[in-house]
Chain A
Amino acid sequence: MKKRTRRAVRHTVVYLSAFLLCSFSLFPILWGLSTSLKPEHQLYVQPPKWIPDPVTLEHYMDVFKNKMMLNYFYNSAFIAVASTVFSLMIGILAAYGFSRFKFPGRNTLLWSILFTQIFPRVVIIIPFYVTLKNLHLLGTYAGLILVYLIVVLPVSVWLLKGFIDKIPYEIEEAAIIDGCSIFSLLWRIVIPMTFPAIGAVAMYAFILSWNEFLFALVFSSAETRPLPIGLAFFIDEVGVQWGQLMSASILMSIPAVVVFSLSQKLLVRGLSEGGVKG
């Protein structure tokens, strides 16, 4: 009996503490959601009202009617898809090399790849700026995809290497004896066997590009401007349109929230293996 009351107390404390943490985590998001669903005239009502009445989708409609906004969405999607595809192509080759071979300089290379992940970004924006300017790529999609690769490639290589490490090499051995070339080996055996993992890495890489801010700020032009920068400077003659801004923000968050929530286990494993075990 005593044990049961102690258990009950313990559970109450846990639920109370979880409730406080969840409220802190949720309130800014719920407030944004509530704003995005309110009619325009209720946005600035004091004291603040949490429940929109009536619920309206007018701000979402405005986002879909706003040509600039659609353009930001398109730019973000295009750049993110392209940098994801390139980082996977380059990343799979490199990850396979790192996973299956021991060669001089291997560990140093792996660590320097990890280092790029925590590199202070502001340090390299000036040289990038000069390089892109010299190549006439400043403000172009190609230039942006190139700099975004630096954001996503290191993570892709690390995560992919971890997954390839786990598949047994005997099948590859047999294939080599049968005269299979290294590229058809990758294409026919390694890629199909790691397909789910590649999918997860692709989603992660997509989200990293989708969210990237600083590089987008410095290297995009009015035509290639991606969503994060569009939302940072979303202001017109009458000031900030908070309803529309919140709707676009909610829309922008959906891919990231879904991917991260679904793959948190996998990502934690990847992060802690990459970061903790070395």
Chain B
Amino acid sequence: MNNFRKTVRNLVPVYVLLLPCMLLLLFMMVYPVYQTVRFSMAEVKLPSFELIFVGLHNFIQIFSKEEMGIVFKNTLVWVIGSIVVKFMLGFWAALTFNVHVRGGLLLRIICLLPWTVPSIVSSNLWRWILQSDIGLLNGSLRAYGLGDMAHNWLGDPNSALYSVLVANAWSGFPFVMIMLLAGMQGISKELYEAGSMDGANAIQLFRYITIPSLMPIIVIVLLLQMIQNLNSFDMLYVLTGGGPGGASETLSLFVYRIGFTNFDFGGASAMSVALLVLAIILFSLYNLKSNKSGKREGAK
């Protein structure tokens, strides 16, 4: 292999192979981040995009906006709520499909469907179900004599965020299921056999073998979900647009509104930088965790 590498390196430096990819990343990732940081500390004059340095002014201004508290609260509810519901559904599904029964594969693929549907389609499906006057949900409630519970799900500030959260959990839980299922199938059968020989019952086997063996993958799934839900945009944008009255506006939608409705590029960039720092912290944790579990797997 060493010899081979030398030969190839003499023929063509590896950097030539990587050049197109690196150029693209430089142009489309590194440069934009650099620009965002610059914008965040400048007043952006439109339409010329002339920059006037203003230091931390944008940060102070954006964080002292009165809706900031609601946006943070919504983001927290959205991220934590989505993770909890997705994880519970995903774990339940993984446990179910980890048992081999006839037709199990087919049932598993059916359960996977919500994840395969494009985000705009799942948004539209739920928009149609949650319609206040003619939607399936309210119609069914009325048909079963529960008309009192019929509700303007997306139009009521108290229920808008939670309604979208259910839709989000629907489209995201299959991913959690696949990851956990992959983890469960990687647990050695001998562990369970040894456990039952020692007289452990099903609950004990689950508590002392399944959960600890899954722990590394659970942590990774949780971190991935945190990042994913923090970044999620499509569903909220299509179902409520952050409304009514900002009642379902999360950080992503907030940045979008400040940037592309108010055209305050400086303010939006300041918020972006904050979001980016958060994402980098989460990614570093993820990096750390997945390296560790990779090593552990390698040691086995």
**A interface list, Cβ under 8 A from B:** 10-11, 14-15, 17-18, 21-22, 24-26, 28-29, 31-32, 35, 43-44, 46-48, 89-91, 93-94, 96-98, 100-103, 109, 111-113, 115-116, 118-128, 130-131, 133, 146-147, 149-150, 153, 157, 169, 172-173, 176-177, 181-182, 210-211, 213-214, 217-218, 227-228, 231-232, 242, 245-246, 249-250, 252-253, 256-257, 259-261, 264, 268, 271-272, 275-278
Which residue of A has the minimal Cβ distance to B117?
A253
Select B107's contact among A18, A90, A257, beta carbons within 8 Å.
A18
Whether the Cβ atoms of A18 and B96 lie closer than 8 Å is yes
Whether the Cβ atoms of A149 and B111 lie closer than 8 Å is no
Most buried by B among A109, A242, A249: A249
Which residues of the partner chain A approach B252 to less than 8 Å between Cβ atoms?
120-122
Q: A18-B107, A120-B231, A264-B109 are in contact. Are A228 and B96 (CB under 8 A)?
A: no
Smallest distance from the beta carbon of B91 to chain A beta carbons, Å?
A: 11
Which residues of the partner chain B approach A94 to less than 8 Å between Cβ atoms?
17-18, 20-22
Q: A48-B139, A126-B265 are in contact. Are A172 and B4 (CB under 8 A)?
A: yes
Whether the Cβ atoms of B128 and A213 lie closer than 8 Å is no
Which residues of the partner chain A approach B158 to less than 8 Å between Cβ atoms?
none
Stretch at the interface among B66-74, B188-196, B203-211, B253-261: B253-261
Alpha-carbon distance between A43 and B134 when the two chains are bound, in angstroms: 9
**B interface list, Cβ under 8 A from A:** 1, 4-5, 7-9, 11-12, 14-15, 17-18, 20-22, 24-25, 28-29, 31-33, 35-36, 39, 49, 89, 92-93, 96-97, 99, 101, 104, 107, 109-126, 128-129, 134, 136, 139-140, 142-143, 170, 174, 178-179, 182, 217, 220, 224, 227-228, 230-231, 233-234, 237-238, 252, 255-256, 259-260, 265, 268-269, 272-273, 275-276, 279, 283, 287, 290-291, 293-294, 297
Whether the Cβ atoms of B110 and A25 lie closer than 8 Å is yes
Which residues of the partner chain A approach B109 to less than 8 Å between Cβ atoms?
261, 264
Q: A242-B128, A257-B113, A257-B116 are in contact. Are A90 and B36 (CB under 8 A)?
A: no
Q: Is the interface of A mostly helix, strand, loop or mixed?
A: helix
Q: Is the interface of B mostly helix, strand, loop or mixed?
A: helix
7 A–B contact pairs at CB < 8 A?
A22-B110, A28-B125, A97-B15, A97-B18, A103-B15, A127-B36, A217-B237
Q: A256-B118, A272-B179 are in contact. Are A121 and B233 (CB under 8 A)?
A: yes
Select B33's contact among A90, A123, A177, A250, beta carbons within 8 Å.
A123
Smallest distance from the beta carbon of B96 to chain A beta carbons, Å?
A: 5
Whether the Cβ atoms of A277 and B231 lie closer than 8 Å is no
